[in-house]
Each structure stands twice: as C-alpha cells, then as structure tokens.
C-alpha cells in the first residue's frame, strides 16, 4: 500500500474558545489517516490554548501576531504535510470523509490545488471550479474548502501581511499561472457567520482592488470599474445598522 499523502490543517485563533471545540472535533473525526494539526494562536486571553491542547496539535504556537496572515505564515513554517488546508476557528469540516475526498480528488487529477464548496449557516453555498479568468475579477474559490500543495508556498512564497482580509486572494492570483487544479463538487466546510471578510466588506473591496493591481491580472481601468461596481452593489444592499 502506498503511503497516504499527508495534510497539514492550519487553524489560526485568537480568543476563540466559544467556537474552537467544534472546529477541532471535526478535524479529529476525519477518516484520512495522515493529518497534522497546526494551531497558530495570537496569545489568547481566554481558554483557547487549553482547548487546543486537548486535541494534541502537532504544533501549537501561542504568541502575539500581526493578524491572520502573519499567523498562517508562522504555521506554514512549521507544517510538514504534502497538502495544506486553512480553517477558521469558527469553521467545521462538513463530514468525516471531507479531507479524504479532497486528497482523492487531488490524486485523481494529478493536481497541486483542489477546490470544493463551503456552506454558511443558513444554507448559502460558495465555491466554484478553478477558473483563472473569473479569479482575475473576483475570488470564486472557497478558501476553507481548498487543499494547496505545500510546494506552492515553497516555490512562490507565503502570504503578504500588508493585506488584512484579502491576502488569500492575493496569493491565489500569484500562484494562478502555476496551479494545476482539480474540482470536488461537494460541501467540505461549514462556515461560521462572523468571518472578518463578512464584517469588514468596505475594506475587503479595497483590498481586492489592491490585489488585482499588485498582480497585474486585470487592466487598471477594468479593476477600477469593478471596484466601483462593488461599492454600488454594497450601497444598494446596505440598511441602517448593517456593517461593512
């Protein structure tokens, strides 16, 4: 029997005691035999670290950081898996075969990136097959339901910490020319309601525009026009008391 490909699951936390237990329990329940848990905690003041310790992560970092992408970069330097998956502390894997199905899809497609779907509480699903033309305009990939070969980070760099929300989008734009992607038409991850990209929509729109300019993936006028359209759409959706 060949040795199964290993997966490093990285969870960045900060005062996440209310949701972390469910996240880590969903990882512990996975049937894939080669999973490495890496928890990068930003020096929480609640019970986050104690909860993480109960699940015996291969690596537990607990120190101040400069945001989620700094935490992810620290974790990447410790990760040893063939694949890497990033989960939020309020995300849960949708079923015990989630990781096994992702790895199988990657092997079948001889891929270095596998994307699938996520579902928000309430039933709304996100995530589309890898499509570079669409990616240049917006992030159509559900990041918490995506495996990336660790070799992509070794070859093309880690997350740009000047981004606070759209660093994953920036990275996908950077590696897009080198990605050989597979698609799994399945909900892999269930998302909590309070991700930073959902509560800071104005900043997210600005950072999407910045990532497109940085990576020269969209003509400048096109990127600017799309940025304006995003803001118009946001204003139409806005109601008193909304955030973003």
pLDDT in tens, 5-50: 999 999 999 999 999 999 999 999 999 999 999 999 999 999 999 9
- With a cut of 50, say whether residue 194 has pLDDT above it: yes
Percent of the chain with pLDDT over 70: 85
User: How would residue 231 be classed by pLDDT, with cut points 50, 70 and 90?
Assistant: very low
Confidence (pLDDT) at 202: 80
Q: What is the pTM of this model?
A: 0.87
- Cα-flanking dihedrals φ and ψ of residue 11, to 5°? -125, 115
| pLDDT tens digits, 98-112 | 999 999 999 999 999
Q: Which fold has domain 7-193?
A: Spore Coat Polysaccharide Biosynthesis Protein SpsA; Chain A (3.90.550)
Percent of the chain with pLDDT over 90: 75
- Backbone dihedral region of 241: left (phi > 0), alpha (psi from -120 to 50 degrees) or beta? left
Confidence (pLDDT) at 2: 72
Mean pLDDT of 70-95: 97
Q: Which residue has the tokens 């996975």?
A: 30
Confidence (pLDDT) at 152: 97
Least confident of 57-66, 162-171, 178-187, 203-212: 203-212
Confidence (pLDDT) at 244: 24
Chain centre distance of CA 147: 9
> For residues 229 and 240, what is the distance between their CA atoms, to the nearest angstrom?
21
Mean pLDDT of 59-81: 97
| pLDDT tens digits, 110-143 | 999 999 999 997 788 999 999 999 999 888 999 9
| DSSP code per residue over 111-175 | -SEEEEEEEETTS-EE-----HHHHTTS--S-GGGEEEEHHHHHHH----TT-SS-HHHHHHHHH
Confidence (pLDDT) at 164: 92
Confidence (pLDDT) at 198: 52
Better pLDDT: 194 or 204: 204
Confidence (pLDDT) at 242: 25
Mean pLDDT of 64-76: 97
- With a cut of 50, say whether residue 237 has pLDDT above it: no
């Amino acid at each position: 029997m060949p040795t199964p490909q290993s997966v490093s699951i990285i969870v960045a936390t900060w005062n996440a005691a209310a949701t972390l237990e469910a996240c880590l329990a969903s990882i512990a329940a996975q049937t894939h035999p080669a999973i490495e848990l890496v928890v990068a905690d930003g020096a929480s003041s609640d019970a986050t670290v104690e909860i993480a310790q109960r699940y015996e992560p291969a690596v537990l970092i607990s120190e101040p950081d400069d945001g989620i992408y700094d935490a992810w970069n620290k974790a990447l330097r410790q990760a040893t898996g063939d694949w890497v998956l990033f989960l939020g502390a309020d995300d849960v894997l949708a079923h015990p075969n989630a990781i096994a199905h992702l790895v199988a899809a990657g092997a079948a497609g001889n891929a270095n990136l596998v994307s699938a779907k996520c579902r928000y509480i309430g039933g709304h699903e996100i995530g589309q097959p890898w499509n570079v033309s669409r990616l240049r305009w917006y992030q159509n990939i559900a990041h918490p339901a995506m495996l990336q070969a660790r070799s992509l980070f070794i070859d093309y760099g880690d997350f740009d910490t000047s981004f606070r929300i759209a660093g994953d989008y920036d990275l996908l734009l950077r590696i897009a020319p080198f990605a050989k992607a597979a698609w799994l038409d399945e909900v892999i991850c269930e998302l909590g309601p309070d991700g930073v990209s959902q509560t800071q929509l104005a900043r997210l729109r600005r950072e999407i525009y910045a990532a497109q300019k940085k990576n020269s993936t969209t003509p400048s006028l096109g990127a600017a026009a799309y940025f304006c359209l995003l803001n118009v759409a946001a204003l139409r959706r806005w109601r008193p008391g909304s955030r973003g």
